Structure 1
Amino acid sequence: MRILADLPDDDVNWLDEMAQQQGKSRAQLLRDAVAAFRADMMRDWILDGASYWAGKAPPAETMARDEKPYGDKI
């Protein structure tokens, strides 16, 4: 499906530069951008954040185990 979208001249010029550098058309860059945006919007950020700590101690536990008080200089 074709669409008509108004973009500022600076954005169009940037798209043209990126298209030339990547050997793609302006339309292909826009399709790629929409696909990436959709994939990003579908991510479950809660699960991503929870998995960050998998196998790691929470920061409070890490600080409690640290023998050297913060702020002391070596």
Structure 2
Amino acid sequence: MRILTDIPQEDIEKLDALAARSKRSRAAAIREAVKLYLVSNANNNDWIARGAGYWKGRDDIGDGVEYQRAMREDRTPYDEI
């Protein structure tokens, strides 16, 4: 399918340079850019999966529930109670 779109001249120049370096046409570079954009935004609402495991392997907080309790009680986690 063909489309008509306005792209700033500065971006066209950068796109042409990128396409030339990779020995592709401007159209091929645009098709790849669109594909990458769609793939990177396909699961944009899956914020839980994207954030899962951020604290994995952290040794400084120990048990997550104890850490939360300590923060709520305004104390350092694992203080003697």
Q: 2:53 matched to which residue of 1?
A: 51
Q: How many residues align?
A: 62
Q: 1:10 matched to which residue of 2?
A: 10
Residues 1-74 of structure 1 aligned to structure 2 (within 5 Å): 1-43=1-43, 44-53=46-55, 55-57=56-58, 61=61
Give RMSD over aligned pairs.
2.3
Higher Cα radius of gyration: 2
Deviation at 1:38, TM superposition (A): 0.6
Scaled by the length of structure 2, the TM-score of the pair is 0.63
Choose between structure 1 and 2: higher helix proportion: 1
Measure the CA separation in 2 of the matches of 1:47 and 1:58: 22
Q: Mark the runs of 5 or more structure 2 residues left unpaired by the alignment.
A: 63-76
**CA 1:37 to 1:58, structure 2 compared with 1: closer, same or farther past 3 Å?**
farther
Between the aligned residues of both structures, percent identity stands at 37
Q: Residue type of the partner of 1:33?
A: A
**CA 1:17 to 1:47, structure 2 compared with 1: closer, same or farther past 3 Å?**
same
Of structures 1 and 2, the one with the larger relative CO (CA 8 A, separation 6+) is 1
Scaled by the length of structure 1, the TM-score of the pair is 0.68
Aligned-partner SS, 1:42: coil
